[in-house]
Amino acid sequence: MQDRLEATPAEGKSSRLNFGLLTLTIFGAFLIFGLSENVKGPAIPAIQADFGIGEFQVGLLLAVNAFGYLVACGYTAPLATRIGLKTTLAISLIAMALSGIGICFSLGFLTLALAFFALYLANGMLEITLGLMAATIFTKNTGAMLNISHFFYGIGSMIGPLLSARLMAAHIEEFRFGWRYMYLIVLFFSLLPLISGAAGRFSGRADKKQKAGVRAFLKTPFAWPVIWALSLSAVCEMGIGGWLVNFLEKSYAFDRGGAALVLAAFFACFTVARLVLGPLTDRIGFMKSLLILTAFSGLAVVVGVAAGRPGVVLLVVSGIGISPIYPTLLAAVAKLFADEIYAAMTVVLTVMGIISMASNLVLGGLIDGTRRIFIHFYGEAGLGMAYATGIVFLGLCCLLAFAAVAVLKRRLEREGRMV
């Protein structure tokens, strides 16, 4: 039997308070999740400089992150089955804080990679747990509520690059915080949602028929189009968050603060879109909304790169289309696979983790490989052209997500199950 609230908001003041505490916990944890994921943009160039690593090693570092997320996808749902989602949430938040200590005091690239692996192990646990809790609690206006939940992720994502740049530049007399203490401070914020989480009541266990649920999910004609649409759009979303600052610095000679400001503007569009467009997805329909969003995002990224420096504006506004894709697809999963939601979320997010891990390696290798070719023919300008190639790759991923949504829409229409 799936997790359920012990009482609904309509059953009295205590129930409303409980619902409010759990909602606050979900929103707060999403905000912290957004912070932890997106402080890396300004930090990566500094990490490169400190450890003397190239673009492929950056891609490898991000792939290690994705691998940690992937591993978490494999055990989070079974763990929640045994100990409950509330305890699983607490473990993930505490683990995030501990990983900040590891990042801060890493002795070299290998220990840094291990600390980042631990962070994304915790992040993967957090994302899956939050997704399952939200799908269980927000049974009405699912699309709107999931978008609002992810709106707080957007707030964290918007604040993250600016906070990262500010903390990295901060100093007390002779002592500079740098990227190490920036991570330590930011990741200790993850302990804050434990306060409201401890006060809220969330009883029950996850569905214990996980294997049957997974088989049933994979046999449906909708499973793989959902997986591909979610994974490819996530590659674009996370890729821009991780590589945009480097792209702006290497291609257009932005300084660190200016590049962080552009990334923050991207996440501002990202955040506002989830709040404004999220409720519209329930009215327009999930599939129509997703077709519009994926097409707009992919074209904005590709055309933005092709337009050169003035096209940075298009890269920023691409966040308007990118941001509602992920929560809207999760809402569609919650509606289509209500009886196998734990299994469906586990499979979808596991495959998404595999594709994200591979895409980081591909993207790092693509930039590194094209850099050699372009520098041979165009000199130092070739580095910027190589980064532009990587960002175009991200836009093409979003356009492929559009194709996957189109396939899903046709199959749903054929089965009479439009959402």
Contact yes or no for 327/147 (Cβ under 8 A) = yes
Closest C-alpha among 138, 341, 343, 154 to residue 241: 154
pLDDT of residue 13: 61
Q: Would residue 314 count as lying in a domain? A: yes
DSSP string, 262-279: HHHHHHHHHHHHHHHHHH
Beta-carbon neighbour count of residue 239 at 10 Å?
A: 23
Below-70 pLDDT ranges, the chain:
1-14, 139, 142, 202-213, 418-419
Q: Would residue 1 count as lying in a domain? A: no
pLDDT of residue 320: 92
Contact yes or no for 2/342 (Cβ under 8 A) = yes
Q: Would residue 2 count as lying in a domain? A: no
DSSP string, 291-331: HHHHHHHHHHHHHHHHT-GGGHHHHHHHHHHHTTHHHHHHH
Residue 345: give the domain boundaries.
Answer: 9-415
User: What total of structural domains would you count in the chain?
Assistant: 1
Closest C-alpha among 223, 3, 323 to residue 134: 3
pLDDT of residue 66: 72
CATH number at residue 255: 1.20.1250.20
Q: Would residue 395 count as lying in a domain? A: yes
Give the tens place of pLDDT for each residue, 120-172: 899 989 988 888 888 777 767 767 778 888 788 878 877 888 888 889 988 88
pLDDT of residue 162: 84
pLDDT of residue 85: 84
Give the tens place of pLDDT for each residue, 315-325: 999 999 998 89
Q: Would residue 20 count as lying in a domain? A: yes
